[in-house]
Amino acid sequence: MAHHHLTHFDPFRDLVRADPLRNVEDFFRDMGFKSALRELAAPPQIRIDVTENAQAYSVKAELPGMKKEDILVQIDGSQVTIAAEARREHEEKKGETLLRSERYVGQQLRSFSLGQEVDESQAVAKYHDGVLELSLPKRANGGAKKLAIG
């Protein structure tokens, strides 16, 4: 009498054993969806460092791969907003197929408040090697105001 060993087929077995999020994008791509998660992903957060001394605030913001023409800084009192737009032109050459596109394309925005109003007329912005540096002098008469009670 011959013994036959039958194994139960479970099509989801490999998905459960693997890290469930590790290759989700590859899974969707293999199923015929074009970069499904990339379309839903939130834009990357602009990372900043803020320091201060008695006279000014110093801000360093990471904006890798941006052109300085695509960066906008707006100051409104003590509120600072940094906006940037990443654009990628990909010109397909004859006989060339784009296999993977992972670089971010779109807008990024970061807004934050400082403890004191900024003198925007004296503010300076520099952009070099993917880092935006802001020197934001504090307004001379900034801070709390006393109100006379009548």
Average pLDDT over residues 70-85: 94
**Model pTM greater than 0.85?**
no
CA-to-CA dists, residue 50 to 80, 113, 120, 134, angstroms: 11, 11, 17, 9
Choose from 15-24, 39-48, 60-69, 104-113 the range with maximum mean pLDDT. 60-69
Which residues, in sequence order, are CB contacts of 121 under 8 Å at separation 6+?
none
**Longest alpha-carbon distance in the chain:** 107
Q: Which of the pair, 42 or 38, is modelled with greater confidence? A: 42
Please give the span between the terminal C-alpha atoms of the chain, in angstroms, as a whole number: 107
Domains of the chain, each with CATH number or no CATH: 10-41 (no CATH), 43-88+104-140 (2.60.40.790)
Average pLDDT over residues 73-82: 95
Q: Which of the pair, 54 or 18, is modelled with greater confidence? A: 54
Residue 122 pLDDT greater than 90, yes or no: yes
Q: Are 83 and 112 in contact (CB under 8 A)?
A: no
